[in-house]
């Protein structure tokens, strides 16, 4: 079901819907836009394979889906898309998760095909978003066209206040975008999604990679971003990354169920998975003072 904003709540918060059929809104100097399209065609998949130099891609790649969060006055853009996430998968190149020999036949695309799982068929990615500067905003660092960049994220001790985020507040905009998905030949699920929620107080985003290899392993990689509206001349974004992972055997030894059906929703079982990496960073965006 598509999200429908309340016009009175938008007006009270100083927000406006994006024009020309675009999905999203503008609020307090930010532009948040989501885009949903169908999965890539076979021709598009072939082009992606050539660009990524691989013969393996997830079953369903939503290559034209995206979420873009743009700071209008500086042109700073943080965006999320499947291609860049798969670039991260290709670079990390984790060893393949071993599956029981009795299950390997499911990975065949042809009846008599030999199965060689010599790549990370889970499509695990370290991706935490893409960064660019937009062309038509305030001249940032003298850049005249949109270009890729590395924003100046700084490690910090601050944390996103998830309790405050759970408080009752009007939701001005919400969307969930699937970037790619694979059912691992009926051996589980590999899923990359991004969700965004905009409230009168700020915006919150969750990029989640969720992996379950049935009977073998679960892996959860979350990236959360939060920005509070306030100072017109300066915005601060907090970004928390948390990676969790556990084998079914390890969970079973702690008394947790070994049945795969008990692990369909990562939100309900995430606390059972031990943390293997966690960090918090912040980004300060300041509007240049005019001379």
Predicted local distance difference test score (pLDDT) of residue 145: 47
Predicted local distance difference test score (pLDDT) of residue 24: 96
240's CB contacts (< 8 A; 6+ apart) are 159, 160, 222, 223, 224, 225, 278, 279, 280
Predicted local distance difference test score (pLDDT) of residue 110: 47
- Which DSSP string corresponds to 23-50? EEEEETTEEEEEE--PPPPHHHHHHHHH
State the average pLDDT over residues 206-232.
93
- Identify the weakest region by mean pLDDT among 51-55, 128-132, 200-204, 285-289: 285-289
Q: Could you give the CA distance from residue 5 to residue 23 in angstroms, rounded to a whole number?
A: 11
Q: What percent of the chain has pLDDT over 90?
A: 67
Predicted local distance difference test score (pLDDT) of residue 230: 78
Q: Could you give the CA distance from residue 196 to residue 207 in angstroms, rounded to a whole number?
A: 9
- Identify the weakest region by mean pLDDT among 28-37, 117-126, 137-146, 181-190: 137-146
Q: Could you give the CA distance from residue 208 to residue 178 in angstroms, rounded to a whole number?
A: 10
- φ, ψ at 79 (rounded to 5°): -140, 165
**Per-residue pLDDT reduced to its tens digit, 86-144:** 999 999 999 988 876 545 545 544 444 455 677 899 999 999 999 988 756 544 433 33
Q: What percent of the chain has pLDDT over 70?
A: 86
Predicted local distance difference test score (pLDDT) of residue 289: 58
Contact 99, 213 (CB under 8 A): yes
**Residue of 185, 192, 184 lying closest to 212 (CA atoms):** 184
Edge to edge, what strands does the sheet with 130-133 contain?
A: 15-17, 23-27, 30-35, 66-71, 76-81, 130-133, 147-148
- pTM for this prediction: 0.90
Contact 260, 245 (CB under 8 A): no
State the average pLDDT over residues 192-210.
97
Q: Which residues pair with 221 in a beta bridge?
A: 209, 243
Pairs from 43-48 (Cβ < 8 Å, separation ≥ 24): 48/83, 48/86
- Identify the weakest region by mean pLDDT among 11-20, 95-104, 172-181, 192-201: 95-104
Predicted local distance difference test score (pLDDT) of residue 139: 40
State the average pLDDT over residues 41-61.
96
Q: Is 256 exposed, middle or buried (0-12, 13-18, 19+ CB in 10 A)?
A: middle
Predicted local distance difference test score (pLDDT) of residue 91: 97
Q: Could you give the CA distance from residue 84 to residue 52 in angstroms, rounded to a whole number?
A: 10
Q: Could you give the CA distance from residue 22 to residue 256 in angstroms, rounded to a whole number?
A: 45
Predicted local distance difference test score (pLDDT) of residue 33: 97
**Residue of 259, 183, 252, 195 lying closest to 225 (CA atoms):** 195
Domain spans, the chain: 7-136+149-286
Residue 1 confidence class, pLDDT cut points 50, 70, 90: low
């Amino acid at each position: 079901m598509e999200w429908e904003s309340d016009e009175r709540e938008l007006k009270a918060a100083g927000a406006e819907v994006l024009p020309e059929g675009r999905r999203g809104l503008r609020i307090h100097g930010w532009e948040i836009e989501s885009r949903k399209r169908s999965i890539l065609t076979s021709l598009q998949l072939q082009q992606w394979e050539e660009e990524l130099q691989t013969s393996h891609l997830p079953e369903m790649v939503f290559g034209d889906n995206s979420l873009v969060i743009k700071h209008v006055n500086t042109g700073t853009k943080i965006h999320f898309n499947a291609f860049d996430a798969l670039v991260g998968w290709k670079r990390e190149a984790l060893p393949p998760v071993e599956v029981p020999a009795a299950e390997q036949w499911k990975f065949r695309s042809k009846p008599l095909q030999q199965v060689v799982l010599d790549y990370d068929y889970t499509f695990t990615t370290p991706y935490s978003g893409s960064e660019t500067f937009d062309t038509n905003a305030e001249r940032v660092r003298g850049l005249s066209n949109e270009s890729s960049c590395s924003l100046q994220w700084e490690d910090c001790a601050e944390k996103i206040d998830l309790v405050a985020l759970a408080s009752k507040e009007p939701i001005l905009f919400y969307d969930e975008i699937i970037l790619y998905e694979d059912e691992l030949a009926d051996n589980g699920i590999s899923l990359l999604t991004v969700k965004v929620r905009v409230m009168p107080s700020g915006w919150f985003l969750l990029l989640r990679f969720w992996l379950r290899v049935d009977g073998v392993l679960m892996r959860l990689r979350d990236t959360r971003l939060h920005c509070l509206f306030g100072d017109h001349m300066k915005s601060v974004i907090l970004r928390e990354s948390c990676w969790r992972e556990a084998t079914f055997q390890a969970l079973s030894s702690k008394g947790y169920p070994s049945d795969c059906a008990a692990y369909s929703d990562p939100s309900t079982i995430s606390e059972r998975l031990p943390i293997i990496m966690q960090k918090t960073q912040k980004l300060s965006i300041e509007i240049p003072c005019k001379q």
